[in-house]
């Protein structure tokens, strides 16, 4: 296997995947992408070709991300100074409503089955194309489209309180 070619070809896919996992934190995603490829290079002899290279790399990336979270015990905090910069009660209410809508959206996404949830998150947070999602999950582009659409319908029903 040509390591240089693998790195050049799959860097955008792994980076996009890690952007999804890191909630669009570009610096962290870049660091984790580099760590992913370093681990891949170290363990290239263990790759047996049973899965696509992209799948193998994304599994390494996911494991690298989980290790990062465990190691750093990350919790999202807003600096006090940033909270004080909110200029009015109206903006605070607007921010609260937006936060509440986002929480409802992500609760609805969490309620999806694991495969559908992964496809939806790849699409909306990772901004991956359906083709990339299909390749990542060893499926077709059409499968990714249908799975995303079905997930979107379930989310809409969940958020609007339908049965």
Identify the H or E element spanning 130.
Answer: helix 130-136
Average pLDDT rounded to a whole number, residues 94-120: 79
**Beta carbons within 8 Å of 61's beta carbon, 6+ residues apart:** 14, 17, 18, 21, 32, 33, 36
17: closest CA among 157, 110, 137, 150? 137
CATH 1.10.10.10 range(s) for the chain read 80-159
CATH topology classification for 3-72: Rna Polymerase Sigma Factor; Chain: A (1.10.1740)
Q: Where in the chain is CATH 1.10.1740.10?
A: 3-72
According to the CATH classification, is domain 80-159 in 2.60.40.10? no
Contact 41, 6 (CB under 8 A): no
Query: Given the structure tokens 């609007």, which residue do they identify?
Result: 160
**What's the pLDDT score for residue 7?**
87
Q: Are 159 and 104 in contact (CB under 8 A)?
A: yes
DSSP secondary-structure letter at 113?
-
pLDDT score, position 1: 65
pLDDT one-digit tens code per residue, 67-81 = 888 787 654 455 555
pTM: 0.49
> In sequence order, what are the residues at sequence separation of 6 or more whose Cβ sits closer than 8 angstroms to the Cβ of residue 131?
141, 144
- Residues 161 and 150: their CA atoms lie apart, in Å, by 17
């Amino acid at each position: 296997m040509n390591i240089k070619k693998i790195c050049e070809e799959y860097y955008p896919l792994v980076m996009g995947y890690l952007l999804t996992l890191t909630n669009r934190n570009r610096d962290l995603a870049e660091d984790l992408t580099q760590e992913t490829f370093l681990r891949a290079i170290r363990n290239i002899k263990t790759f047996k070709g049973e899965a696509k290279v992209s799948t193998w790399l994304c599994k390494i990336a996911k494991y690298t991300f989980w290790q990062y979270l465990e190691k750093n015990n990350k919790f999202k905090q807003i600096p006090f100074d940033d909270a004080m910069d909110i200029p009015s009660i109206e903006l605070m209410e607007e921010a609260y409503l937006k936060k509440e809508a986002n929480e409802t959206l992500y609760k609805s996404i969490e309620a999806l089955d694991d495969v559908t949830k992964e496809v939806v998150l790849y699409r909306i947070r990772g901004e991956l194309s359906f083709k990339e999602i299909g390749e990542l999950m060893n499926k077709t582009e059409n499968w990714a489209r249908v799975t995303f659409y079905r997930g979107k319908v379930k989310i809409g029903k969940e958020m609007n309180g339908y049965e």
